[in-house]
Structure 1
Amino acid sequence: MKVRFTSLAVVIGLIIAGAPLKAQQHNMPKDYVVPTDPAVRQKLAQWQDLKFGLFMHWGTYSEWGVVESWSICPEDEGWTQRKGPYSATYEGYKKAYENLQTTFNPVKFNPEKWVKAAKDAGMKYVVFTTKHHDGFSMFDTKQTDYKITSPKTPFSTNPRANVTKEIFNAFRKDNFLIGAYFSKPDWHSPDYWWPYFPPKDRNVNYDPAKYPEKWNQFKQFTYNQIEELMTGYGSVDILWLDGGWVRPLTTVDRTVDWQKGIKFNQDIDMPKIAAMARQHQPGLIVVDRTVPGEYENYTTPEQEVPATPLSNPWESCITMGNSWSYVPGDHYKSVPEIVQLLVKIVSRGGNLLMNIGPGPDGDWDTEAYKRLQGIGEWIKINGESIYGSKAIAPYSDGNTYFTQSKNGKAVYAFVLGDGEKVSLPSSLTVKLNNTKGLKAARLLGSNQKLKWKTSENGVLITIPAALQNSNLKNAAVFKFEYR
């Protein structure tokens, strides 16, 4: 990860406090390309209705509790700084980092436990890091021995060693959509970082035009790995491609800082990859993030929330803690913070992909389970205002946010609390742009109809004392029903 989102069309209204440093601005495309394949459009519409997904960054880096992959990148940035006993020299550190393969043994791995917690929290899809930039494959690839199923890796003797397959199967059984995160750059591959030259930065360390045979080998390696994921791991709904510096040189935007460092054409032939992937997985959503065009089926602002709705499908990917990957003692966002993030994102028509990093033992921090439980308690009461909803003007008004049901028969107003508890006044004006045909108002979680009347600013509702003093948490949701 480590991507920053800036929009050419909107001003970012929210930047997540305590978010990890980011290495990639994410400029929104000026002209979103609508997929021509009806099956892809149908899958996108299905995905947009789900609203809440689980992201998981997991690899050998969790053993050290360091940032995923980036500490082996020879760039002088905050997220790439080496720490620990091996940090004195780059080569010594990289060798020790890659040697983590020989000690990685997540014996507490139990994806069914994750499925239950995620499902109870109201999550509907999952995206898992099958391979991050460091090149360590969390699946049984035949293209490299740098993988979790290698005899070099202690966990390879476990019957569930192919963790990608186990995760996908477990979540699919509970009707989650399945997303395969895959890093296009591979810093372990000798065909990307050729050992003949030292790596200089995140990019390929030779000129592919000067050494086309080597680059073609890397293209074939990438194609083969993606085809393995598309053919041996059951139904896959999303191919989530990261590492946007691997792209055709013609797509580079020199006004974006991180793209200024892209010197070579790193075209891996996305048309060929996408065609192959969709042949095996009809209707597959392809997310070639930060590369505008027909293979960025939805956009992915990172650690941020747009201030206004976007005109194309989108998803904010945000960490539950401060880090994408496991860090001991990480600070987790509170339940109110996460619920309110979900509300704000959905009110703008987007999805929230919430990341939790499993630890080296193969389990999540107990704090993550607590957060999911609290989110689920709120979702069980208020889920109808989230799933399948649409954005509706005015989107927000102060601490009140809005969604609309898909059939247009209901508008939901979320009144956010100051922290966990939500205190309601005896009367409340809700800024509805349309009051024509309004027939009823109530608070979700209560069957009591509320007294209301139209006012100059929308609808004035009267809130009985019993509801004012009820134990409302995170956000109170009012439902306005229309004829």
Structure 2
Amino acid sequence: MKKVSAFLIALLSLFTQGDFVNSQHYDPTWASLDTRPLPPWYDEAKIGIFLHWGVFSVPSYMSEWFWEYWRTGNINAKEFMAKNYRPGFTYADFAPQFSAQFYDTQRWAEIFKESGARYVVLTTKHHEGFTNWPSKNSFNWNAMDVGPKKDLVALFVEALRAFTDLRVGLYHSLFEWFNPLFLEDEANNFTTQYFVWNKTMPELYDLVNTYKPDLIWSDGDWMANHTYWNSTNFLAWLFNDSPVKNSVVVNDRWGKYTRCKHGSFFNCDDKFNPGKLFPHKWENAMSIDKSSWGYRRDLKLDDLNTIEELLQLLAETISCGGNLLINVGPTKEGIIVPIFEERLKQLGSWLKVNGEAIYASKPWSKQNDTITPGVWYTAKNSTSGTSVYAILLKWPGKSLILGSPITSSVTTVNLLGYPEFFNWEADPSGGMKIEIPPISYNEMPCQWAWVLKLQGLKNQFVPYPEITIN
């Protein structure tokens, strides 16, 4: 009996951590792989942080695509190099300046925890091919051999797990712009796989076995189909036999034509935001810097998403069933600049008040209000009934009319973070009219985007898993 109880406790522990017991075997086909359930932790998390960091953080000009722009003759990139660097300077010459000298992983972990995010995705290798860990398949073009002389990925993973309970995600680019093996495969119309077997696949297996990530964010997929990349065979191993088979989730970038079709969750395109309920778990990967994922030294304040814009994206995304992945670009020294840190801490302060409406929420039967613009809904179901959360992007003034809720005699309305219930009445045109009491500045629970909690409504609640397509 004691053995059975111990087993049940261990099983319960897996579910409470957002993992699941993976007993099914998956074949290396999309038809089979697409049947794997999404580990619950990912949908419950709702918010992640994305980090684009690499040798491109040294020139820190234009974007993380700087090398490709320069090499293919972009005028701005060429002029930048001509004005600031000696003749004959190569992209590889930037690598020793990628110092990471102020890379304080404990501080990073604290910033991420304060942001309210539940997972963090670090770039292990972008399209430039430089690996932030000592990859045996990237000789002298990795963070241990040149530049930081450190395993940046290991330090990141260790700090995140030591100081937070955030999930670990790793970004990895399938291809590299100028790797000779890839260029040879491309010249052969991808009938050969020299690059895949000598670079891509060894790196992916190494990352999984060494760092045991909960999320793999794949990219660089668009030039060849999934059979060239060997994607389904890798994913079958990942879901069947890898050390993270019960917790790991993956995106949809595994080959030409796989986006928005195959994956634990869909990215579809950068900054994907359908604005309506989407029939599969999805993620809006966006950047605080509207023009770049990597750090830019010539960044201007107007280039950034304000906290109001960030919260609007959050409300739109979560209401429609997505997760929001918020990118910041660290400097070459390993600093998350204060303006990015401020945005993340502003988000965290908002979530301390309103996280109830975000974490582990589900889309409601209505995503945004039918009468008043700038109102987005989420919901939670419990034994006591459905709680509906109306996220207001603008403060309504003395009253607010909502067209989507159908009230009952037991309907209640309260503002998250405020102790008193609000009065309301059924509106003749349908919905409800809520009386907004005068609230002094020091009693206002937050500065931006306020959340009303509605209970006792008649509206049907459609749990998100029931409308998810595997």
Same fold (TM over 0.5): yes
Q: 5 Å matches for 1:307-346? A: 307-322=275-290, 323-330=292-299, 331=301, 332-346=304-318
SS of corresponding position for 1:315: strand
Structure 1 position 36, deviation (Å): 5.4
Structure 1 position 79, deviation (Å): 11
Contact 2:33 2:236 in 1 (8 A): no
Structure 1 position 124, deviation (Å): 0.5
2:54 aligned to which of 52, 59, 62: 59
Contact 2:130 2:143 in 1 (8 A): no
2:450 is aligned to 476
Q: How many Å separate the matches in 2 of 1:305 and 1:34?
A: 27
- Check 1:374–1:176 CA distance in 2 against 1; reply closer, same or farther (3 A cut): same
- Check 1:339–1:77 CA distance in 2 against 1; reply closer, same or farther (3 A cut): farther
Q: How many Å separate the matches in 1 of 2:249 and 2:204?
A: 14
2:252 is aligned to 288
Contact 1:52 1:125 in 2 (8 A): yes
**Residues 244-274 of structure 1: per-residue CA shift (max 9 Å, x gap):** 22432xx8xxxxxxxxxxxxxx712112211
Contact 2:319 2:378 in 1 (8 A): yes
Q: 5 Å matches for 1:199-278? A: 204-209=186-191, 212=192, 215-233=193-211, 235-248=212-225, 267-278=228-239
Give % identity: 24
Contact 1:105 1:361 in 2 (8 A): yes
Contact 1:181 1:239 in 2 (8 A): yes
Structure 1 position 193, deviation (Å): 2.4
2:43 aligned to which of 45, 48, 55: 48
Structure 1 position 306, deviation (Å): 1.4
Q: How many Å separate the matches in 2 of 1:384 and 1:298?
A: 23
Q: How many Å separate the matches in 2 of 1:438 and 1:77?
A: 67
1:399 aligned to which of 374, 386, 399: 374
Structure 1 position 276, deviation (Å): 2.9
- Consecutive unaligned residues in structure 1, runs of 5 or more: 1-31, 195-202, 252-265
Structure 1 position 428, deviation (Å): 1.3
1:164 is aligned to 153
**Residues 143-171 of structure 1: per-residue CA shift (max 9 Å, x gap):** 121443343x1421xxxx11111112222
| TM-score calculated relative to the size of structure 2 | 0.79
Matched length: 407
SS of corresponding position for 2:48: strand
Q: Does 1:127 find its partner at 2:121?
A: yes
Structure 1 position 293, deviation (Å): 7.9
Q: How many Å separate the matches in 2 of 1:41 and 1:437?
A: 39
- Check 1:130–1:276 CA distance in 2 against 1; reply closer, same or farther (3 A cut): same
1:451 is aligned to 423
Contact 1:34 1:294 in 2 (8 A): no
Structure 1 position 393, deviation (Å): 3.5
Q: How many Å separate the matches in 2 of 1:392 and 1:77?
A: 50
1:140 is aligned to 134
Greater per-residue helix proportion: 2
- Check 1:62–1:293 CA distance in 2 against 1; reply closer, same or farther (3 A cut): closer
1:155 is aligned to 148
Structure 1 position 87, deviation (Å): 9.1
- Check 1:273–1:402 CA distance in 2 against 1; reply closer, same or farther (3 A cut): same
SS of corresponding position for 1:182: strand
**Residues 215-268 of structure 1: per-residue CA shift (max 9 Å, x gap):** 2453342111111101111x31111110122432xx8xxxxxxxxxxxxxx712
Q: 5 Å matches for 1:346-425? A: 346-397=318-369, 398-407=373-382, 409-417=386-394, 422=395, 424-425=396-397
Contact 1:127 1:181 in 2 (8 A): yes
SS of corresponding position for 2:90: helix
Q: Does 1:460 find its partner at 2:450?
A: no
Structure 1 position 304, deviation (Å): 4.2
**Residues 370-389 of structure 1: per-residue CA shift (max 9 Å, x gap):** 11121111111111001111
2:67 aligned to which of 56, 62, 71: 71
Contact 1:429 1:457 in 2 (8 A): no
Query: In terms of mean alpha carbon deviation, does 310-319 or 112-121 score higher?
Result: 112-121
- Check 1:373–1:166 CA distance in 2 against 1; reply closer, same or farther (3 A cut): same
SS of corresponding position for 1:442: strand
SS of corresponding position for 1:230: helix
Q: How many Å separate the matches in 1 of 2:151 and 2:220?
A: 24
Q: How many Å separate the matches in 2 of 1:392 and 1:268?
A: 38
- Check 1:416–1:217 CA distance in 2 against 1; reply closer, same or farther (3 A cut): closer
1:297 is aligned to 264
SS of corresponding position for 1:409: strand
Contact 2:53 2:329 in 1 (8 A): yes
Structure 1 position 50, deviation (Å): 0.9
1:17 is aligned to none
The one-letter code matched in structure 2 to 1:231 is N
SS of corresponding position for 1:232: helix
- Consecutive unaligned residues in structure 2, runs of 5 or more: 1-29, 458-470
Q: How many Å separate the matches in 2 of 1:335 and 1:391?
A: 23
Q: How many Å separate the matches in 1 of 2:374 and 2:297?
A: 34
SS of corresponding position for 2:449: strand
Q: How many Å separate the matches in 1 of 2:321 and 2:361?
A: 8
Structure 1 position 138, deviation (Å): 0.7
- Check 1:112–1:389 CA distance in 2 against 1; reply closer, same or farther (3 A cut): same
Greater per-residue strand proportion: 1
Structure 1 position 335, deviation (Å): 1.5
Contact 1:35 1:294 in 2 (8 A): no
- Check 1:79–1:429 CA distance in 2 against 1; reply closer, same or farther (3 A cut): farther
Q: How many Å separate the matches in 1 of 2:92 and 2:360?
A: 44
